[in-house]
Amino acid sequence: MEFKISSVSTSLDQKLLNKINGKTKPLGSLGMLEKIAFQIGKIQNSLSPKIMNPTVVVFAGDHGITDDGVSFYPKSVSYEMLYNYMQGGAAINVFSRQHNIDFKVVDAGIDHDFDPALNIINKKIAYGTKNYRFEPAMTKNQCLEGFKRGADVIEGIHKEGCNFITFGEKGIGNTSSAALILSLLTDIKLEECVGKGTGLDKEGVKSKFDLLNEALQKYDGGNNPIDVLTQFGGFEVVMIVGAVLKAAELRMTMLIDGFIITSALLAASKIDPKVLGYCLFAHKSNEQAHIKMLNHLNAEPILDIGMRLGEGTGAMVCYPLVKSAVQFINEMASFQEAGVSESEEVETIS
């Protein structure tokens, strides 16, 4: 499917900068909050940006490679965690409730049938991907269908009045997909892309690398993002790619979580680099290769607090800072309004 993504507007850059600099504070003294406010203002092309109906969507899918032991946990944890989400007991539930953010779960390809009465959005493509040590994870048609289904989810959320979206994921084994996607789309050596995932020790990481390297050596495709996703992706990953592309098309602000979500964004940016203008980067994951992804994307993370849980939790913990940025640009008095003398210095936001 085709996405019609426009570049983020620059028409209000100077006015946004003047408004931020004109607040009753020393220039630049709110640090990262000023950058966040500036970026959201650009995305919304507004001097008074608003966050409306913020939503976090967790996409879930199983991975065939998990059968080979690339994760500390068995595949069954994926579907068990979806039941935990529905009971409100996971970290993402706690944090989304804390910040009054709408929470949705999408079954992109879990190897389990859920009761239709559960509040899970059923977009299942198949009961998990194939084991890419032996064959492609999915067909090209399944990959493209994943884009479409992810995009459809976001379009529905946007119609509910949402202009601020963040993504989470659940899928045991998906750090393996993310490592391969990173390596192939950036030419970074695979050994630098493979990390602990759900908590592997040094020997576990080495075994994981050996399995992924075997799969990589058998791959005879190129670095086209659709080919890479077809070979090594997960159904949740390809749906997030479609979700990212649609959110950018709809000019929504995206708060990007950790390693898995950034791998999907990386793939989306190879399809259309304009998506990056709509993104804020919540944190630097403690998964070792995440910083390499961020550096490749020239992305500056807002937080670095050692998180690597996934689910969208890093984005949820970061959200209050984003909200503070929007609050200050809208509600903080200017020097002129407060009758306070201002500096003659001039500062830009890089």
Q: What positions carry a catalytic annotation?
A: 311
Task: Please calculate the CA angle 237-241-246 and round it to the nearest 5 degrees.
Answer: 145
Task: Give the C-alpha separation, 69 to 67, whole Å.
Answer: 6
Beta strands in the chain (DSSP E): 55-61, 102-109, 121-122, 164-170, 253-256, 279-281
Q: Left, alpha or beta for 69 (phi > 0: left; psi -120 to 50: alpha)? A: left
Is residue 326 a contact partner of residue 50, using CB atoms and an 8 Å limit? yes
Category of 281 on φ-ψ map: left (φ > 0), alpha (ψ -120 to 50) or beta:
beta
Instruction: Give the span between the Cα atoms of 93 and 111, in whole angstroms.
Output: 22
- Cα separation, 124 vs 113, in Å, equals 10
Contact present, 280 and 138 (Cβ < 8 Å): no
> What secondary structure letter does DSSP report for 138?
S
- Quote the CA–CA distance of 268 and 278 in Å, as a whole number: 12
- Look at the chain and count its residues: 350
Burial (CB count within 10 angstroms: exposed 0-12, middle 13-18, buried 19+), residue 149: buried
Buried-state track 71-92, b at ≥16 Cβ within 10 A, e below 16: beeebebbbebbebbbeeebbb
Number of Cβ within 10 Å of residue 236's Cβ equals: 35
Decide: helix, strand or coil at residue 301: coil
